[in-house]
């Protein structure tokens, strides 16, 4: 009987040790979402590109499109200053200096329209589709990484539980004299 008590106490100690290790490992392997990652999720580049394409199709000039986007979309307020700089005939690169990096696809597509005068609505729509595709691939990649990082903590929890609930009672039942 004393051996059975010692065996169950040792098993309980191993389980608590395994749980503590699992908690520490999962905290290391699964990073929490920082503020910079949350900011990336709030950048509506696909929406901005599609809206710009529709406005270009409607015949609106580039400076008015930028002003409209800047005044109506909270994350794009810098586009109002870009529009003002372009209206004052400032160089394209100089006008876009203050714009954040996530607006680079809009900048590149509108640069083509600005320099050549060619319609860039299809280019904007294709760029928006490309951004959506890249975003879905990034989400799929992050999901796969999460799945691989989840295997170790899950195994560290499930294996001791299987041993404690499946193997140990079987061994105890095989040797009733212990």
**Residue 70's pLDDT band (boundaries 50, 70, 90)?**
very high
Distance, CA of 81 to CA of 63 (rounded, Å): 10
b/e map 37-64, b = 16+ CB within 10 Å: eeeeeebbbbebbbbbbebbeeeeebbe
pLDDT at res. 16: 56
pLDDT at res. 29: 47
Q: Which long-range contacts (CB under 8 A, 24 or more apart) does 8-14 make?
A: 11/163, 11/164, 11/168, 14/160
Q: What is the mean pLDDT of residues 81-108?
A: 92
Q: What is the mean pLDDT of residues 66-83?
A: 92
Q: List, for residues 4-39, the tens digit of each pLDDT value.
A: 555 555 555 555 555 554 445 445 544 555 444 444
Distance, CA of 73 to CA of 81 (rounded, Å): 14
Query: Is residue 1 over pLDDT 60?
Result: no
pTM to 2 decimals?
A: 0.60
Q: List, for residues 135-150, the tens digit of each pLDDT value.
A: 999 999 999 888 888 8
pLDDT at res. 18: 53
Give the H or E element holding residue 108.
helix 104-116
Query: Is residue 3 over pLDDT 80?
Result: no
pLDDT at res. 83: 94
106 burial (CB, 10 Å; 0-12 / 13-18 / 19+) is: buried
Where exactly are the structural domains of the chain? 2-36+153-174, 42-139
**Residue 112's pLDDT band (boundaries 50, 70, 90)?**
confident
Distance, CA of 109 to CA of 45 (rounded, Å): 12
Distances, alpha carbon 125 to alpha carbons 22, 99, 118, in Å? 46, 21, 15
Contact predicate 53/29, CB 8 Å: no
Q: What is the mean pLDDT of residues 105-122?
A: 87
Distance, CA of 75 to CA of 151 (rounded, Å): 38
114 burial (CB, 10 Å; 0-12 / 13-18 / 19+) is: middle
CATH of 42-139, one of 2.30.30, 1.10.10, 1.20.81, 3.30.160: 1.20.81
């Amino acid at each position: 009987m004393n051996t059975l008590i010692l065996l169950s106490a040792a098993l309980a100690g191993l389980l608590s040790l395994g749980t503590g290790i699992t908690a520490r490992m999962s905290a290391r392997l699964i990073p929490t979402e920082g503020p910079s990652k949350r900011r990336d999720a709030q950048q509506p580049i696909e929406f901005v590109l599609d809206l710009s394409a529709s406005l270009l199709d409607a015949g609106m000039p580039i400076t008015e499109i930028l002003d409209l986007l800047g005044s109506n979309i909270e994350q794009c307020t810098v586009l109002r200053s870009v529009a003002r700089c372009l209206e004052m005939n400032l160089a394209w690169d100089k006008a876009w200096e203050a714009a954040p990096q996530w607006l680079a696809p809009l900048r590149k597509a509108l640069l083509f329209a600005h320099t050549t005068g060619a319609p860039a609505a299809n280019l904007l729509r294709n760029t928006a589709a490309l951004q959506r595709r890249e975003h879905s691939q990034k989400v799929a990649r992050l999901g796969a990484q999460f799945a691989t990082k989840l295997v170790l903590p899950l195994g560290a929890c499930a294996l001791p539980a299987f041993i404690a609930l499946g193997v140990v009672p079987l061994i105890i039942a095989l040797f009733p004299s212990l």
